Chain A
Amino acid sequence: MKVVAPLIAVWAALLALLGLTVGASLMLTGTPSLVVSLGIASAKAALIAWVYMQLRREGGLMRIMALGAAFWLLILLGYLALDYLTR
């Protein structure tokens, strides 16, 4: 049960965040909606990486590697922003 409990708790949290996403899309529009949606999506991704992908049990090197992957995503998004914001 010790192993399963956190998994179920995260699953419930993910469902709750999904509910928040749906709610936010109904109540908010435009930039606030986008910011809230992206914030919730980031929280979901962090939960999955930390618990389901076992980063909480890994050492520093593995966590740095995971951050490296996030950095790679930042390169993609950063250059996309550079193009879209300066057209």
Chain B
Amino acid sequence: MDIEWYLVLSALLFTIGLIGVLVRRNPVVILLCLELMLSAGALAMLAFSRMLGNQDGQVFVLIVLVVAACEVVVGLGLVVAMYRRRLPLDVDEMKELKG
């Protein structure tokens, strides 16, 4: 299978995740969509790693997985904190940063 195919698949997955981030408003779903985008990036990285026959990219992907896990932990912690404070679980409702 040519590398191109993998890359296009990766771009497609990335786009789907991106649309999800832009369209959905539930923070849990947005976090899931971020996972999608990250895994799409991991796929592209693995494809290039295979193309070059170099395993450094795999280590990179592993680190990306770790960072993604961290992000999930903090993100979900935020969601739980929001829920505890009876805040609406809707990212559009959180606009204290408005100038």
Note whether A and B form a binding pair.
Answer: no
List chain A positions with a Cβ less than 8 A from chain B.
none
